[in-house]
Amino acid sequence: MILLPRPAMNRRSLLRGAGAAMALPFLEAMAPSAKAADAAARPRRLSVFYTPNGMMMDPFRPATTGVDYALPPTLEPLAPFKRQMTVITGLGHPQAAAMGDLAAGHGRSCPAFLTGTHVRQTEGSDIRCAISMDQVYARHLGDATSLPSLETGIDQPSLLGSCDIGYSCAYTNGISWLNPTVPLPVAANPGEVFERLFGDGDALDSASRLAQLRRQASILDFVAEDAARLSGQLGASDRHKLDEYLTATRDIERRIQRAAAAPMADAGSLPRPSGIPDSFDEHVRLMIDLQVLAMQADITRVATFMIGREICNRTYPEIGVADSHHMLSHHGNMAEKKTKLAQINRYHMTYFAYLLRRLSEVKDGEASLLERSFVLRGSAFGDSNDHDHMDLPVVIAGGLVPHSGHLTVPKGTTMSNLLLTGLQALGVPTTSFGDSTGALSLA
């Protein structure tokens, strides 16, 4: 069942007025005043924040459990949000084990992160993963928003020769999977993301955007007939490719029609980003800002962000670390490398804090976006020196679940249990996900 908030007034009445679109559709003007009963009806958001190459676990893991733990160095940037988050240690992804496949780690653990599945080892076209948790929620939401989900990141994908040996680059370029064979591309260019949210330079006001969308929908309609005809002429194995295309066009058409019936999100006076900023700091903040904006305008309710692709080799001269991240993560127990790695971890954590801050600043009715969200921060590994996928550094935040400080779970517990808990908190009526054995209790 799709839970939709009931508007307090007719949406059409908004469009009629002055032609000017609202910067914040329906969230303020149209929503009924928030009462406890209504809280269940407000749109719920999912936000995933991913860091590559694992985590130095000692500076991450709090010494004690429960609510009165002291924040270890890596988690210090999260101090303002300590009461609205839970640190979970002990979770793992058993499905990321080799099970007879090659020795690689990244190629298996990265796609397992949000899917809890054991991927097929291949460098070729026959990749097979599973639908990821964020896409399960997106599917559940159906056409409620004009964008089903937003996948963003910082790194351009597919640096040649630098994906995990034996595993297709598709496995480490992203964490979000539409279905077992379609990975969703990660957008690293803020200009591209801005356009997806608000349209391009020619149609930034809602009237032109509406006309543009209507035309797109009818064109897609004509094209769908064309595609069906072409598909009929192809062999069975080729038809699959066309069918992916057909499904996608029908999906977009439906969304456009839905979006056309609702108030348009207006970029207003927001400047369109011109490209990828030179500085890492500026780039990350911009991508986080765009994600928050998208949720604020209810363009989407599902967002994943990767601060680097898995096996990222970025260096961080701005914090004095000139060695590449992936090399440092194979520290071989050398103190200097471990220190630098922890510095990178902490640096990344400051941006997770930034995300939480932005979400807490944006109002959604009486509460903040953060309170309406399930936020997940994680990595495919704990200590990545030996590709340890059974002791993962997880932090969850947001008002959709209760928080208990530092929670540690029995070794071997699959992270899919937590993903299941997240799905249930988001309102998806499901009792299993990935290799889950039951929802993780957070109380």
Taking contact as CB under 8 A, which single stretch among the options 42-50, 323-331, 348-356, 361-369 is the one that binds other proteins?
A: 323-331
Residue 38: is it exposed, middle or buried by C-beta count within 10 angstroms (0-12/13-18/19+)? middle
Taking contact as CB under 8 A, which single stretch among the options 52-60, 244-252, 342-350, 356-364 is the one that binds other proteins?
A: 244-252
14 vs 16: CA distance, rounded Å: 5
Q: Which tokens hold the place of 251? A: 């999906």
Q: Which tokens hold the place of 110? A: 């990265």
Q: What's the start-to-end Cα distance of the chain, in Å?
A: 26
CA distances from 236 to 124, 210, 231 (A): 20, 38, 9
Containing 48, the helix (H) or strand (E) segment is: strand 45-50
Residue 125: is it exposed, middle or buried by C-beta count within 10 angstroms (0-12/13-18/19+)? exposed
* Residue from the set 65, 212, 339, 404 that interacts with other proteins by CB under 8 A: 212
Single out the residue of 425, 440, 418, 417 nearest to residue 372, CA to CA: 425
* Residue from the set 130, 144, 220, 370 that interacts with other proteins by CB under 8 A: 220
Alpha helices, H only, 233-380: 236-260, 280-296, 325-329, 335-361
* Residue from the set 42, 108, 196, 209 that interacts with other proteins by CB under 8 A: 196
* Residue from the set 251, 268, 412, 430 that interacts with other proteins by CB under 8 A: 251
| Beta-carbon count within 10 A of 13 CB | 10
Taking contact as CB under 8 A, which single stretch among the options 56-64, 65-73, 242-250, 424-432 is the one that binds other proteins?
A: 242-250
* Residue from the set 37, 322, 410, 429 that interacts with other proteins by CB under 8 A: 322
Can you tell me whether residue 214 is helix, strand or coil?
helix
Containing 228, the helix (H) or strand (E) segment is: helix 206-232
Closest to other proteins by CB, 236 vs 443, is 236
CB of 187 to other proteins, least distance (A): 7
Closest to other proteins by CB, 153 vs 399, is 153
Indicate whether 4 belongs to the interface with other proteins (CB under 8 A): no
Q: Which tokens hold the place of 244? A: 């992916």
CB of 103 to other proteins, least distance (A): 4
Indicate whether 173 belongs to the interface with other proteins (CB under 8 A): yes
| Beta-carbon count within 10 A of 18 CB | 7
* Residue from the set 232, 275, 410, 429 that interacts with other proteins by CB under 8 A: 275
Taking contact as CB under 8 A, which single stretch among the options 68-76, 80-88, 225-233, 373-381 is the one that binds other proteins?
A: 225-233
* Residue from the set 28, 58, 226, 361 that interacts with other proteins by CB under 8 A: 226
Q: Which 337-366 residues touch other proteins, going by CB under 8 A?
A: none
* Residue from the set 17, 68, 161, 429 that interacts with other proteins by CB under 8 A: 161
Q: Which 276-305 residues touch other proteins, going by CB under 8 A?
A: 277-278
Indicate whether 416 belongs to the interface with other proteins (CB under 8 A): no
* Residue from the set 139, 330, 357, 363 that interacts with other proteins by CB under 8 A: 330
Closest to other proteins by CB, 218 vs 431, is 218
Q: Which tokens hold the place of 135? A: 């896409």
Which residue(s) pair with 375 in the sheet?
Answer: 47, 397
Residue 222: is it exposed, middle or buried by C-beta count within 10 angstroms (0-12/13-18/19+)? exposed
Closest to other proteins by CB, 127 vs 262, is 127
Per-residue binding string, other proteins, 372-411, x by CB under 8 A, is: -------------xx-------------------------
Closest to other proteins by CB, 135 vs 368, is 135
Closest to other proteins by CB, 227 vs 415, is 227
* Residue from the set 227, 259, 297, 396 that interacts with other proteins by CB under 8 A: 227
Q: Which 87-146 residues touch other proteins, going by CB under 8 A?
A: 98, 102-104, 123-128
CB of 419 to other proteins, least distance (A): 21
Indicate whether 429 belongs to the interface with other proteins (CB under 8 A): no
List all residues 6 or more positions away from 368 whose beta carbon is below 8 Å from its beta carbon: 359, 360, 361, 362
List all residues 6 or more positions away from 144 whose beta carbon is below 8 Å from its beta carbon: 2, 4, 43, 258, 301
* Residue from the set 53, 86, 95, 168 that interacts with other proteins by CB under 8 A: 168
The number of helices, as runs of H, and strands, as runs of E, in the chain is: 12, 11
Alpha helices, H only, 22-70: 36-39
